[in-house]
Amino acid sequence: MIARTILIVDDEQRTRQGLKKTLDQWAVGNYEILTAEDGKAAWEIFRSREVHLLITDICMPEMNGLQLLKTLRTNEQKTVVLILSGYPDFEYAQEAIRLGVVNYLLKPTSKKKLIEAVEQALEIKAANERIEYIQKVADPRILQMEENTPLKLPIKKAIQYIHEHLNDSITLKRVADHVHLNAAYFSALFKEQTGLNFSEYLTRKRLELAKSLLLTSSLTVDEISRKSGYQTPKYFIKVFKDYEGVTPSKYRKSAAVKGPSV
């Protein structure tokens, strides 16, 4: 597993080294701690790799901290940011808030306060990733139904069974038998409760699984089609394109994002 990255940007070498030493001891290998001497050097790092947390000073030569943040936002970089500055300037703080900074610490700060701020920022990063992941993977109709619709017990059991057997050959009769209902009655009740007919619900849930695997695994499209319950990759690709507007391969390339942090 590749370690996540925290980048410290400060033109004072002693400060950089002190912050890095503190965070190296805290991270115990779970995060790679990098440093840069100014915004320009930091931007070069951003151009070559993902940075999960940025800790930056404001007043630096070449490119200051706020200029760096503006560059990151312009280029749609989604890192979370802590400001660590020696200047308790209200205008700086206002601009930092406008640019999405999650905390503004004043130098000198204690190791305890620094680590608390870092942990809080990383929790925000994880929450943002989960939200982005859900937005990319979750089917909006199913999400709305699951969040807002009280379901009768047989339908709850049916949905749980579907979720546990998405890669199997599921039929309406098989699920109806599982919840001890007549197939015709179960079909009508399922549509009434969920707003979707059985086959459409099953397709949407299988595509949610497929999208999750496309974004979080290196499995081939053929392997993902089988794990999502499709007998042939050709049919899987057709269904995927009908619902998502692109092929699975194009979806993976255009929507790549890490899964939610654990």
The answer to whether the CB of 43 falls within 8 A of the CB of 74 is: no
d(CA 215, CA 228): 14
Considering the domain architecture, whether residues 205 and 97 belong to the same structural domain is answered as no
Contacts of residue 198, Cβ cutoff 8 Å, sequence gap at least 6: 172, 175, 186, 187, 190, 191
- Domain boundary among the residues 80, 112, 133 is at 133
Considering the domain architecture, whether residues 125 and 143 belong to the same structural domain is answered as no
User: Residue 138, SS3?
Assistant: coil
Q: Classify residue 259: in a domain, yes or no.
A: no
d(CA 233, CA 222): 5
As beta bridge partners, residue 53 has 6, 80
Average pLDDT over residues 240-262: 79
Considering the domain architecture, whether residues 153 and 43 belong to the same structural domain is answered as no
Considering the domain architecture, whether residues 125 and 241 belong to the same structural domain is answered as no
- Summarize pLDDT for 35-64 with one digit per residue, the tens: 999 999 999 999 999 999 999 998 888 888
Q: Classify residue 260: in a domain, yes or no.
A: no
pLDDT of residue 6: 97
pLDDT of 5 strictly over 50: yes
Considering the domain architecture, whether residues 20 and 116 belong to the same structural domain is answered as yes
d(CA 125, CA 44): 21
pLDDT of 261 strictly over 60: no
Q: What's the structural domain count of the chain?
A: 2
Q: Classify residue 90: in a domain, yes or no.
A: yes
pLDDT of residue 97: 84
Considering the domain architecture, whether residues 123 and 161 belong to the same structural domain is answered as no
pLDDT of residue 256: 60
Which CATH number characterizes residue 59's domain?
Answer: 3.40.50.2300
Considering the domain architecture, whether residues 145 and 231 belong to the same structural domain is answered as yes
Which CATH number characterizes residue 221's domain?
Answer: 1.10.10.60
pLDDT of 137 strictly over 70: yes
pLDDT of residue 64: 85
Q: Classify residue 56: in a domain, yes or no.
A: yes
Which structural domain, as residue segments, surrounds residue 114?
4-133
Q: Classify residue 222: in a domain, yes or no.
A: yes
Q: Classify residue 170: in a domain, yes or no.
A: yes
- Summarize pLDDT for 79-120 with one digit per residue, the tens: 999 999 887 777 878 888 888 899 999 988 999 999 999 999
Considering the domain architecture, whether residues 35 and 123 belong to the same structural domain is answered as yes
- Domain boundary among the residues 79, 112, 133 is at 133
Strand order across the beta sheet in which 103-106 lies: 31-36, 4-9, 53-56, 80-85, 103-106
Contacts of residue 89, Cβ cutoff 8 Å, sequence gap at least 6: none
Considering the domain architecture, whether residues 9 and 129 belong to the same structural domain is answered as yes
pLDDT of 2 strictly over 80: no
Considering the domain architecture, whether residues 146 and 125 belong to the same structural domain is answered as no
The answer to whether the CB of 49 falls within 8 A of the CB of 77 is: no
pTM: predicted TM-score of the whole model, two decimal places: 0.73
Lowest mean pLDDT among 123-137, 185-199, 221-235: 123-137
The tokens for 250 are 């194009």
Considering the domain architecture, whether residues 48 and 112 belong to the same structural domain is answered as yes
- Domain boundary among the residues 99, 116, 133 is at 133
The answer to whether the CB of 167 falls within 8 A of the CB of 226 is: yes
Counting residues of the chain whose pLDDT is more than 90, the rounded percentage is 75
Q: Classify residue 34: in a domain, yes or no.
A: yes
Nearest residue to 41 (alpha-carbon basis) of 16, 24, 23: 16
d(CA 247, CA 250): 5
The answer to whether the CB of 96 falls within 8 A of the CB of 104 is: yes
d(CA 234, CA 243): 15
Q: Classify residue 171: in a domain, yes or no.
A: yes
Strands (E), 41-125: 53-56, 80-85, 103-106
The tokens for 213 are 């695997």
pLDDT of 262 strictly over 80: no
Considering the domain architecture, whether residues 169 and 232 belong to the same structural domain is answered as yes
pLDDT of residue 255: 72
